[in-house]
Amino acid sequence: MKKKKLIGLMLAAVLSVTSLAGCGNQNSADATGSTDNGGAEASGTTENTDTAGSTVTAETENTNTQEEASGERIKLEVWDWWGDGQYKYVIEQLCQNFNESQDKYEVVHVNYPWGDVWTKALAATAAGNPPDIIIQDIRTVTHRGQANQATDLTDLIAQEGEGFTDQFYPQLMDAMIYDGRVYGLPYVTDTRILYYDKDAFTEAGLDPETPPQTWDELVEYARKLDIQNEDGTYERLGFYPGTLEWNAWAFSADGKDYTDTEGNVTVNTPEKVKLFENIYTDFYEYYGKKELDSFSAEFGSGMTNPFVAGKVAMWVNTPTEFTKVRDFAPEKNYGVTLMPALEEGGEHYSWGGGFSVEIPYGTKDVQGSWEFAKFITSKESQVFWASQVYDTVANIEASQDPSLMEIPVFKAALEAMPTTVVTLDRLTAPGASDIVLPYLDEIILGSKTPQEALDEAQAQVEQLVNDSK
């Protein structure tokens, strides 16, 4: 039984990347997910048998991480999915910076397509030939800790002295812990903020310096910002909730994940029910789902991005979305603010995901991998990363750097972080988000009331917790 459960958890750790892990970071995937396989020129292939008894293939550019890369240096590989564009440039620059900072190790960047990197790393780890460092999904660190797929960093952290982990946002550092031990360092995170078109506000008679602070204000402003054509279709929507995943809306309602570490289930809280009543009544029932679907079918990227193109006056997205405006509508007059609170005086909860830096179990030179992990999560490296790709970095001091505060989205992200919920795929309920999501779809379709759908989802997740004991 225990063996079956362990295998299931290993699979969940891989499969969850297709859920919210996208980590909320579908944006990261879009920005960096090329079809280029960084290991296409792999010179070594290792076959072995994983714990489920199936044959796995671990492909790397070089299979011996102890191989000297140049001179007497020990070669280390960092695996990720950043195969092109600015992300590739930045990670490779950080590798170069590290290599120039010392003369013992040489870090080489290896990339695989989004999602593939984690399945390949799992296979390579099972085969006894893991990468030296890997950028992983922050939501599933505990899975790898329990399955002995990640190196326990607790003693290494202790050697750094008291307060080492205080440099990271606490909710991100908490995600690194399994059974009181630490299995990674937080790297980047994200949050969701509200973008709004200031010129559209002015045209609608709204104060462009006073964005909505509550759900009721959001709806009130949206109605004034709507532009309807004579045939009943819409030229512009004041607000469109479908740019944020339904699970993410649920977490923003009350700042609670679906489960906690003790296995308590909070799917059908009054706040989550109310928020989905609002989403359905104020938008899908008001406009008609068919009309919204027809309108959103025109959404695209680049110049056809709905906010860039002026098709939506307000929307929720990650801070990195500002690059779309910067690149395709540099003259656009827009503002950013916190997501609206559910009620007057309530918290402005948001949702975030992120990525961790991990040392896979069985890595040949743990100390060298640790030195690189520390290097790329340091303030200097994290400021460089943020300034180039505009991710919200996990290092608190770096995220508050004055050079970044000159960019409005960074200020908004910094303000949002204390009330940003970083959801985890918990060992007490692996795959809970995947169970709930179809019920949220039923709300939007109008086939179930929010109370009915969330009550049923609550029961399903409670059963999942029971089955996972």
- Residue-wise pLDDT tens digits, 180-226: 999 999 999 999 999 999 999 999 999 999 999 999 999 999 999 99
Closest CA to 112 of 59, 189, 54: 59
Note the pLDDT tens digit of each residue in 17-46: 434 444 434 333 333 333 333 332 333 333
Say what the pLDDT of residue 458 is.
98
Q: Inform me whether the pLDDT recorded for 309 exceeds 50.
A: yes
**Bridge partners of residue 134, in order along the sequence:** 79, 358
Q: Inform me whether the pLDDT recorded for 61 exceeds 60.
A: no
Output the pTM of the full model: 0.81
Say how far apart CA 18 and CA 157 lie, in whole Å.
31
Say how far apart CA 410 and CA 412 lie, in whole Å.
5
Closest CA to 270 of 44, 455, 109, 102: 455
SS (H, E, C) the chain: CHHHHHHHHHHHHHHHHHCCHHHHCHHHHHHHCCCCCCCCCCCEEEEEECCCCCEEEEEECCCCCCCECCCCCEEEEEEECCCCHHHHHHHHHHHHHHHHHCCCEEEEEEECCCCHHHHHHHHHHHCCCCCCEEEEEHHHHHHHHHCCCECCCHHHHHHCCCCHHHHECHHHHHCCEECCEECCEEEEECCCEEEEEHHHHHHCCCCCCCCCCEHHHHHHHHHHHCEECCCCCEEEEEECHHHCCHHHHHHHHHCCCCECCCCCECCCCHHHHHHHHHHHHHHHHHHCHHHHHHHHCCCCCHHHCCCCCCCEEEEEECHHHHHHHHHHCCCCCEEEECCCECCCCCCCCEEECEEEEECECCCCCHHHHHHHHHHHCCHHHHHHHHHHHCCEECEHHHHCCHHHHCCHHHHHHHHHHHHEEECCCCCCCCCHHHHHHHHHHHHHHCCCCHHHHHHHHHHHHHHHHHHCC
Q: Parallel, antiparallel, or unpaired: how do β-strands 44-49 and 55-60 relate?
A: antiparallel
Q: Inform me whether the pLDDT recorded for 353 exceeds 70.
A: yes
Note the pLDDT tens digit of each residue in 423-455: 999 999 999 999 999 999 999 999 999 999 999
Percent of the chain's residues with pLDDT above 70: 85
- pLDDT-derived band at 71 (thresholds 50, 70, 90) equals low
CB-CB contact of 263 with 465 (8 Å): yes
CB-CB contact of 132 with 364 (8 Å): yes
Q: What are phi and psi of 393, to 5 degrees?
A: -90, 155
- From residue 357, alpha-carbon distances to 113, 176, 188, 321, 430 in Å are 17, 10, 9, 24, 21
Per residue in 17-29, is it b (16+ CB within 10 Å) or e — as a string?
bebbbbbbbbbbb
Mean pLDDT of 155-160: 97
Say what the pLDDT of residue 70 is.
53
Say what the pLDDT of residue 368 is.
98
Q: Inform me whether the pLDDT recorded for 50 exceeds 60.
A: no
Mean pLDDT of 128-147: 96
Q: Inform me whether the pLDDT recorded for 397 exceeds 70.
A: yes
CB-CB contact of 259 with 426 (8 Å): yes
Say what the pLDDT of residue 393 is.
95
Say what the pLDDT of residue 155 is.
97
Percent of the chain's residues with pLDDT above 90: 76
